[in-house]
Amino acid sequence: MLGRRRSLSIDVAQCAMCAVLYAMGSYLTAYISSLWGSGQFRPAVVIPAVFSTLFGPLVGGVGAAVGTLIVDSAKYGQIYVRSLVAAVPGNFVGFYLFGWLMRRRFSWENFIKASQTTLLISNAIVAFLYVYFRSFVEFSYPAAFREAWVYVSPGLIAWWYVTMLLFVLLLGPPLIRAVASAFPGLVSGQIKSSTMKGEVPRRSFSQAMMIPGSLMLLIGIAMTLADPARMLALNLAPSALILVGMQVMFMSSGAILLVLSILVVATGRLIEKAK
């Protein structure tokens, strides 16, 4: 009985720490939004990803859900209903799934796959719930956005996925290693042995950024070459200005991911030669 209470108290403490750190980190970039005036730039997602990996799905899921509600409510000065409707369930499902996948078997290859899968799923949940709620429940989106809501949602997914994946892949492994080294008693033996001995597969991390980067770049190029009048007529964007912004977003984010993927491989080769 005492062991259960101790375990529960540790879980609660870890959830609280995850939520507070996630909220603090998210607030630093809370006023940087996507082209649609919503959808925050949130590199702090690396925090619940690390907690999910180290301490399990419940800690990561609850910490992410509570943390996103805290930061959204702090930003708007009240309990933010849109966050309750979209961000809270999306964050909980995404990072609970992240922790569940990592608990099955820890490896850096698994970390890459979990990052790709869960960020796509969680961002899809948040994007569609958020856009649908604002378009057809609150009716707070402009009419042009409501007409193009089917395209606004994938746009938000792409925005979040590209910006979040970059930070989770680049910052996640060193943070996990640092915590496992500093607090070995708090993490599983499998994580300790894998993080201390296993080398981060640079090629796999590079490919994880190269594939979505190439896709984003191709989408940006295709949108740039297409007839803008036809694209607007098909409601692929709510306005000409947003259309241009989408082109820039896809091309720049794709180019950044491709450059970073090349740098990761090049850095690895230099380190190997130095040895």
- The residues, ordered by sequence, that sit 6+ positions from 248 with a Cβ below 8 Å of its Cβ are 220
Higher local confidence (pLDDT), 197 or 17: 17
State residue 73's pLDDT score.
96
Position 1 pLDDT exceeds 80: no
CA atoms within 13 A on the CB side of 230: 5
> What whole-number distance in Å separates Cα of residue 247 and Cα of residue 254?
11
State residue 3's pLDDT score.
42
Beta-bridged to residue 33, according to DSSP, are 40
State residue 201's pLDDT score.
80
Kindly report, residue by residue over 132-155, the tens digit of the pLDDT: 898 888 887 777 667 767 778 888
Kindly report, residue by residue over 92-136, the tens digit of the pLDDT: 999 999 999 998 788 889 999 999 999 999 999 999 999 889 888
Contacts 24+ apart (CB under 8 A), 112-117: 112/169, 112/201, 112/204, 112/205, 112/208, 114/53, 115/49, 115/165, 115/168, 115/169, 115/172, 115/208, 116/165, 116/208
State residue 196's pLDDT score.
59
State residue 2's pLDDT score.
36
- The residues, ordered by sequence, that sit 6+ positions from 252 with a Cβ below 8 Å of its Cβ are 220
State residue 271's pLDDT score.
61
Query: Which residue's entry shows tokens 């995850």?
Result: 18
Kindly report, residue by residue over 71-103, the tens digit of the pLDDT: 999 999 999 999 999 999 999 999 999 999 998
Residue 46 identity (one-letter amino acid): V
> What whole-number distance in Å separates Cα of residue 101 and Cα of residue 250?
29
